[in-house]
Structures are given as C-alpha cells and as structure tokens.
A = this chain, B = another copy of it.
Amino acid sequence: MGEFDLLRHIYASNSTMEGRIIIPPGDDMGMVSLAGSAVLAAVDQLIDGVHVRLETTPIGLVGRKAVARSVSDIAAMAARPLASLASVALPRGFEERLAVELFDAMRSAAAALGCPLMGGDIAVHAVAGHPLTCSVTVLAEAVSPGPIRRDGARAGDSVYVTGRLGGSCASDGSGRHLSFPPRVQESLELLGALGTRLHAMIDLSDGLGRDASHIAEQSGVQIILDAASIPCSGGCDWRQALRDGEDYELCFTATGPVPDHIGDVAISAVGTVVSCTTAAEPRVLVRSGESEVAADELGWQHEP
C-alpha cells in the first residue's frame, strides 16, 4: 500500500480548485475563504501501534501528542492557532478512567497550545483489540504576509532547520516525540523577522530528507543539504538525523539574513536551493565531504 501514491492521486484529482478553497490538499494545511476572512485547517491521526505505543506510554502523553502533532501543522504555515476538534475511536472495554485521562490531556494540551477544543466525536470499536485511534483537526488564521506554503522555495534560497534532529522515537516507544513543543511561537516570530523573505516552510514529521523533498518537489527546485551542518541530537549521526521522523522542528527556505536563534531555539543553515535541471534528478541531495547521496536512498523510519 503506497500511502504517498494515494496522496498523489488525491492531490492530482484536486488540482482544479473547488468552491472557495485557497490552499487545496497537499500542503500542511488547507485554506478556504469565508465572508471577509479565511480559515486554515489540518487533520492528523494518532493510531496505537503506528504513531504511539499505548502499552508502554502514559495515556496523558498519548493525548498530548495527538494534539501537538496537529498543532505542529499550524507552525508549518506560520499561522495562528484558533481551535481544534477531536474524534476518538476507543478500544472496546477501554477503562473509563483512562478515557477521561485521555480527554483531559487532549483538552488541556489544546488549550495550552492556543487551540481549545470546540467539538469532537467519541465511538467505541466493535471488536476487542481494535486500536485506539485519535484524529485531531486544528483551525488557524493566517498572519500577514503568510501563510507560508511548501511551494515557495526559489533557487538561491538557503535552507534552515530549528532545533536538533534525530532520535525522537526511542526503541521502547518513549522519547521526544511524546513531549515536543510545536514551534508555533517561533514560526510567528520568524515570519515577523523575515516577512516576505520567508519563502517555504514545512514541519519535520517524516524526517528532514523526506520533508525537504516535499518542499523541493512542490516548489519545482532541488535542495542540496550539507551533512556536516545538520544539527544532530545527542547520539545521532547525520544519516539518522535525516532519516528519523517525528522531530516536529521546522524546515524553511529564505533569502537574506536569518537569525541564529529564535527565543531559545537554535536555527541552523543546512543547505541551499538550486534549480532543477532534469525531472529525473533526485529532489534532495546530501553532500558529505567528497561524496553525494540522494536523500531517498537513506531510507525512512518514523514509526515508534
């Protein structure tokens, strides 16, 4: 089953804008106009066994992550959080105490992240053993000159990431993927500092290699990453930092000067945007010393 083949099918079929949609599927958030305004929205799922391991993870962290990974999409657009909705399919026989703890965690994470819950749906699976599945929709509003899309990278831009990458999911299911702070505030400050010089942005959920390729592909450019410049988490080399997912840091391209910190968060220049000469070229190349490797040859891993 090719998740991305499917997504491509959907996006291709949506290339004609329908109704009042300003940003169609394919970016971190969609956007639609309404009387005198516009609203951004995104949805992400958190499934036991796929994105989190219920067996070894405190339920409160599961609820927090379900909300935080959707809010990270708001950061990716440099938008301002507005509200959220949660739908949850509970395992049959799930303890009520745990369910209440899950919802309390979702509600308080949503409120703390500026996205208070304004609706939801609860169902119970038909059969014991079917997994906890949470789906969180977030709404946001654009901040001028945003929203920042994936398709705005231009040849000559530099490529940046926030924070440190890799090793977010420990082999026992624990790790930073359960407690990361979505970079909403940093993203808005970046937009304020760079304005129209901030060209493209994405949040790093699938790993820098794959996410940078989304920017490159949608912008019709190539990205050259410098392996030695990639800020790796302790214990990770650049290959892991590129391949591991679930960092929920930001990757962006910009022209002109960029600060080396926003608040406490480091910003690292990790590469450059160049023209794409042939369609057959890899979208993301990583240079390490004399060698050069296509990022998609490094493999991917983003399931805890």
Contact = CB atoms under 8 A, between A and B. Distances in A.
A119 B85 contact: no
Interface string A98-136: 011001100100010010111111111111011101010
A10 B110 CA distance: 13
Contact of A30 (B37, B47, B89, B118): B118
A47 B96 CA distance: 20
A50 B2 contact: no
Nearest to A86: B43
B122 A83 contact: no
Contact of A45 (B34, B39, B89): B89
Interface string A1-30: 111011101100110001111011101011
A258 interface: no
B44 A121 contact: yes
Contact of A137 (B24, B124, B137): B137
A31 interface: yes
Interface in A247-287: none
A67 interface: no
Contacts of A118: 21, 23-25, 30-32, 41
A90 interface: yes
A42 interface: yes
Given A125-B50, A130-B130, A13 B43 contact: no
Interface residues of A, number: 76
Given A37-B34, A96-B6, A111-B18, A120 B1 contact: no
Interface in A148-192: none
B122 A6 contact: yes
A1 B39 contact: no
A166 B62 CA distance: 39
Contacts of A96: 1-2, 5-6
B122 A32 contact: no
A41 B119 contact: yes
A195 interface: no
A97 to B, nearest CB: 11
Contacts of A107: 10, 13-14
Contacts of A18: 111, 116
Given A23-B118, A41-B83, A42-B119, 11 more contacts: A5-B96, A7-B122, A13-B104, A32-B139, A35-B36, A47-B125, A49-B127, A51-B123, A121-B135, A129-B129, A137-B137
A141 interface: yes
24 contacts: A6-B99, A6-B100, A10-B107, A13-B107, A18-B116, A19-B111, A20-B82, A21-B83, A21-B116, A35-B37, A35-B141, A39-B39, A41-B118, A42-B119, A43-B85, A43-B119, A44-B121, A45-B89, A45-B135, A47-B123, A47-B125, A49-B127, A50-B125, A50-B126
